[in-house]
Structure 1
Amino acid sequence: MLNLARPLYAAVFAVGMAFTSVASAQDRPPQVKIDSGNLEGTLDSAGVRVFRGIPYAAPPIGDLRWREPQPAKPWTGVRSARDFGDRCQQGPFPAYKPIGGSGMSENCLFLNVWSASDSARRPVLVWIHGGGLGYGYSNQADYDGDSFVDKGLVYVSLNYRVGVLGYLAHPELTAESPNMSSGNYGALDQLAALQWIRRNIAAFGGDPDNVTIFGESAGSVSVSALTASPMAKGLFRRGIGDSGASLGSTVDTLPVRPLAWAEKRGQTFMQVAKANSLAELRAMPADRLVEVSNNGEGHMFHPGLFAPTIDGYFLKEAPEQTFARGAQNNVDLIAGWNLDEGKTFMKISRHPGTCEPVWKTAQTPSAFVAQAEKTFGKSAPEFLKMHPHATEAESIASAHYMVGDMAIAYPTWRWADLQARNDPTNVYLFFFKKATPAQWQGGAPSHGAEVPYAFDNLKQIATSWSDADYQVATQMSTYYANFAKTGNPNGTGLPRWPTYKPSDPRRMVFGERGAEVEATPVAPLQFIDRNRSAGPWCQDLM
């Protein structure tokens, strides 16, 4: 009699061993080889391959402080990429809450990659965080990349130098630079990260020829500046800008500044820091520099007071001139803003050198009229017709919207409008007005409120989200993912998002009923455009 049990057992055992081998391989920490060495990442709870804390440039410490980023030093063996790297040195800011085990130091030029596989060439989405160019970092919960990976992308987030360590200009710095420039170190970090992505992202399954950069607030300012910079040509194909641009609403509140202005400010900072030379500034501890820049007489680098410099190197001219000439990098664009942007900026209080809104006290009918006349002179009657102010409630709301328009909506619209006029690529405009839960952001669609929706990361924030919130998050993030893939946000099951054209200025609105198309109310923005020499929306920065 033949014994069939043994062969059957052996076959089952062999299949089981093969399955175990495959399962072990799937559970093994992922490794990749990049130009500076081998990395070992981790599989997160969703099975996504995540590589954190990858150095894309050398630590900007010692003599490299306030210099253009230098290449990362190669390493031997396998470097762990399981944890986030240090955040860039900065002062405390309650809006930001880091996750992970990272600390804070000048050794902070790290990026992070989320990917499903290393074998495909997937579109790449690169996140540039906000924070007024003075704060922020990549390791926040709502910046997690799993949702975008699920939608078919490779996702990258990065740190860049902020505050006085990222945007200080000074005549001595200009003189020692081979490019005779200073003040754009954070922007040059972003550029170095994009160059790293160009060289290395294929190892993570990304397509180096299909990169989209995405930023909010100062990150959006950075996206527009990179689009205007000839140094960034060919490094990305598309841009997404939420609530910010490197264009300005009045002549004295431009988000970019001439080199001479920035150098003068740097000289003032050196005096406040009680340093006699650049060498003495470089010898100071980083936390001391941040303390000086954020307190007392040195309070010159408060949120919103940093600005890229027109240095003749990273920026040859004001980005507005570049966009007006159609000389920017030809990239498709999504840009937009939120309903109550002004709520955030109205909170800025007066300190030496800070930018307090002049409309902060214009919250009664008479005070609103007085400020309108002071700001717009003979054009005030036209302005007042467009902004309700018959009651105190109307005056408060109009003051908020005015600050939001001048600080955020106008520059963002101007960027999109100029690009639509002078560029063969497609432009898509959005408006976010979805009320948020009362426990988060006070229930208002204020500055930054759209970020967890755009990432589809509501689950990362502990609050009572509604079905309408989840609907908007799914729609917005899917539009963004589609755009990163093809340059067109539209797709199956989504309301059609039309391109923005100056002759047909439609936009996508994200509100209580989800995504809907409406005509953009451009009259208040065009009014600002006609009154560029008007008084500032906030006190001047010097």
Structure 2
Amino acid sequence: MVFIHGGSLQSGNSDQSGYAPTEQLARDTNTVYVSMNYRLQAFGFMALDILSKNSKTNTSGNYGHMDQILALKWVQENIRSFGGDPNKVTLFGQSSGGSSVMVLLASPLAKGLFQKAWMLSASPLLTKTSVGANIDNIVFLNNTNCNNITCLLQMSAHDVTQAVPWNEYPFWAMVDQLDLPVKGRLDGGLAIVDGYVLKETPFDAWVNGRSNDVPLIIGTTAQEIDFEGIPEELVNKSTYDAHVLRKLGSFGTDIARMALRLYPLGKESIRHQFTSMVSDVRVGCGNDIMALWAAVNTDSPVYRYVVTSVPSAPVSIFGMPQDTLLSFHAWDTFAFFGTMQEIMVRPSNNDIMFEANIRREIMSFVETGSPYSKDWLPFPESVVLLSDNTKVTSGYHSYQCDFWMQNGFFDYSWVN
């Protein structure tokens, strides 16, 4: 199994405590694990005409994905020496690592380098072209005060980072992605259709029969954004309503009022409803669309799950406050890795049962191409809710997702 870490294609590494395969995991699952570092941020994904003109491939950007492909080639050439089988490679990644899996499913350069894939909380949106990226990244070029390749290559790493347009369009900081969208505010896509790593969008590769056709599992969590808390002003129904109306009102009052009806306060807390709403808009519903396109246009099965398990006690991940109590971004990753003790004081029996369940389902998929639960049918015939047990359903938040997708909110899915 080959793991690609997340971090918005801008941060992270392959050996973060709790968020990487371990020796214990290898022993427990009798599997050889590989993780990788890859170029990030501007060093991994800056697309500029001035760079393309000085490239052997006449392209620029997607350097981080080239590194990932190189790592997969290394696995093919060397993994037998470590007890692995190059013909039984499962590629998996979380967050932007999951988005990277989508790229590699569509890339002709990754053909034959893996036989199964598992995407965890991926960004489903990848439509930026090299032409569009070159236009967007003029902001970066202007910030460097460079007008030739020699000047660019002589810049320090610090100066390159400082030149990135964090808070001006194309908004590399993406601070809005943990909140409801505002009409017209779109973040910068770092991965692009460059004509080399990606010759077409992943969705087009599926439709045109040019994707890497392998069994696939696509997973998200019910409250993806519940790891930084919610806006401080959301303290009662009045402030909840006002925030939703202010943000979604940019798409029309009817849209905002319908959203309040779809995610009403009552039995559920403000935090639960708000994080569920934003997570559906930004991640979950878009992943349903992605799963459908993959399922309809490939011969291999596509399986879809939503994690509904919640930690039994507050957790702290990636240096965030110890405040998370819902089904947060990466909860399935920590469970599979068996590293819950790294993020919470003492996992409960339910937490440990969730860990055992997700491992049972995933390792069956790794070994056989299908999950452990026999009634978990390929998408769209079923969607599974994963907790300490596996609950097979016909869909998750289907009515809400129909509303969001029919009103054009796929374009506001997480990017990167």
Distance 1:456 1:149, change over 3 A: same
Q: Does 2:96 match 1:218?
A: yes
Q: Tell whether the 8 Å contact from 1:310 to 1:317 is kept in structure 2 after alignment.
A: yes
Alignment of 1:53-64 (within 5 A): none
Query: What secondary structure does 1:234 align onto?
Result: coil
- State the identity as a percent: 26
Please give the residue correspondences for 1:294-373 in structure 2 after superposition, counting only pairs within 5 Å.
300-302=171-173, 305-344=188-227, 363-369=239-245, 371-373=247-249
What does the per-residue CA deviation read over 1:248-270, in whole Å, with 9 as the maximum and x for residues that have no partner?
3xxxxxx4411112112322102
Partner of 1:501: 379
What SS does structure 1 have at the residue aligned with 2:282? helix
The structure with the largest strand share of the pair is 1
Aligned to 1:466: 348
Say which of 55, 68, 72 aligns to 1:194: 72
Report if aligned partners of 2:225, 2:329 keep a CA contact under 8 Å in 1: yes
The equivalent position to 2:368 in structure 1, one of 486, 492, 497, is: 486
| Secondary structure of the structure 1 residue equivalent to 2:279 | helix
- The aligned amino acid for 2:135 is K
| SS in structure 2 of the partner of residue 374 of structure 1 | helix
2: CA distance between counterparts of 1:376 and 1:207? 54
Choose from 445, 462, 473 the match for 2:327: 445
Contact 1:292-1:298 within 8 A present in 2 as well: no
Go from structure 1 to structure 2 and tell me whether the alpha carbon gap of 1:451 and 1:363 turns closer, same or farther (over 3 Å shift): farther
Structure 2 CA distance for partners of 1:295 and 1:419, relative to 1, 3 Å: closer
The one-letter amino acid paired with 1:407 is R
Deviation per CA, 1:469-490, whole angstroms, max 9, x where unpaired? 1111122123222222221221
CA deviation after TM superposition for structure 1 residue 160, in Å: 0.4
Q: Tell me the amino acid that sits aligned with residue 21 of structure 2.
A: D
Change (3 A) 1:275 1:345: farther
Question: Which range is displaced more, 332-341 or 441-450?
Answer: 441-450
Query: How big is the shift at 1:335?
Result: 0.9
> Amino acid of the residue matched to residue 518 of structure 1?
T
CA 214–376 in structure 1, closer or farther in 2 if over 3 Å, else same: farther
Alignment of 1:128-207 (within 5 A): 128-142=4-18, 143-146=20-23, 147-207=25-85
Backbone CA RMSD of aligned residues: 3.1
Contact 1:129 1:138 in 2 (8 A): yes
Give distance in 1, aligned partners of 2:230 and 2:297.
Answer: 36
Looking at structure 1, the residues matched to 209 and 261 of structure 2 have their Cα atoms a distance apart, in angstroms, of 34
8 Å CA contact retained: 1:217, 1:243: yes
The two structures have a TM-score, normalised by structure 2, of 0.84
Q: CA deviation at 1:343?
A: 3.0
Over 3 Å counting, the alpha-carbon distance change for 1:299 and 1:286 in structure 2 is farther
Please report the TM-score for the alignment, with normalisation by the length of structure 1.
0.65
Contact 1:346–1:403 (Cα < 8 Å) also in 2: no
Contact 2:118 2:217 in 1 (8 A): yes
**Is contact 2:69-2:110 (8 Å) kept?**
yes
Tell me which amino acid in the other structure corresponds to 1:280: C
Classify 1:266/1:153 alpha carbon distance in 2 versus 1 (closer, same or farther; 3 Å). same
Partners of 2:131 and 2:198 in 1: CA distance: 14
Q: Once the 2 structures are TM-superposed, how far is the Cα of residue 387 of structure 1 from its aligned partner?
A: 2.8
Change over 3 Å in CA distance of 1:298–1:347 after alignment to 2: farther
Equivalent position SS for 1:208: coil
Task: Tell whether the 8 Å contact from 2:13 to 2:37 is kept in structure 1 after alignment.
Answer: yes
Q: Is the 8 A contact 1:153 1:481 kept in 2?
A: no
Q: How far does the alpha carbon of each residue in 1:103-136 deviate from its partner, in whole angstroms, 9 at most, with x for none? A: xxxxxxxxxxxxxxxxxxxxxx000000000001
Work out the CA distance in 2 between the residues paired with 1:497 and 1:140: 35
Cα shift readout 1:266-295 (whole Å, capped 9, x = no counterpart): 221021122232221211121332244376
Superposed displacement of residue 450, structure 1? 2.0
Residues of 2 paired with 1:316 and 1:429: CA distance?
26
- Partners of 1:383 and 1:460 in 2: how far apart? 36
Residues 323 and 415 of structure 1 are in contact (CA less than 8 Å); yes or no, is this contact kept in structure 2? no
Consecutive unaligned residues of structure 2, counting only runs of 5 or more, are: 178-187, 318-323
The structural deviation recorded for 1:363 is 5.0
Counterparts of 1:464 and 1:171, CA distance in 2: 52
Of the two structures, which has the highest relative contact order with CA contacts closer than 8 Å and spacing of 6 or more? 2
CA distance, structure 1, for counterparts of residue 359 and residue 410 of structure 2:
38
| 8 Å CA contact retained: 1:324, 1:422 | yes
Q: How far apart are 1:531 and its partner, in Å?
A: 2.2
* Distance in 2 separating the partners of 1:468 and 1:390: 26
Residues 167 and 184 of structure 1 are in contact (CA less than 8 Å); yes or no, is this contact kept in structure 2?
yes
SS at match of 2:391: strand
| Structure-2 change in CA distance of 1:444 and 1:389 (3 Å) | closer
- C-alpha distance in 2 between matches for 1:259 and 1:299: 14
Partner of residue 407, structure 2 = 531
- Check whether the contact 2:304–2:379 (CA below 8 A) recurs between aligned residues: no
2:352 paired with 1:477 = no
Gap change, CA 1:172 and 1:469, over 3 Å in 2: same
Q: Does 1:424 align with 2:299?
A: yes
| 1:227 and 1:329 in contact (8 A); partners too | yes
**C-alpha distance in 1, partners of 2:145/2:231?**
27
CA distance in 1, matches of 2:92, 2:49: 32
State the alpha-carbon separation in 1 of the partners of residues 395 and 26 from structure 2. 28
SS at match of 2:85: strand
Post-superposition CA distance 1:293-312 (Å, at most 9, x none): 37676994326755211111
SS of residue paired to 2:122 = coil
Per-residue displacement from partner, 1:8-60 (whole Å, max 9, x unpaired)? xxxxxxxxxxxxxxxxxxxxxxxxxxxxxxxxxxxxxxxxxxxxxxxxxxxxx
Letter in 2 for 1:374: S
Letter in 1 for 2:11: Y
How much has 1:465 moved relative to structure 2? Answer: 0.8
CA contact (8 A) 2:283 2:413 kept: no
Q: Distance in 2 between matches of 1:537 and 1:139?
A: 28
Contact kept in structure 2, 1:133 and 1:306, CA below 8 Å: no
Distance 2:392 2:410 in 1: 32
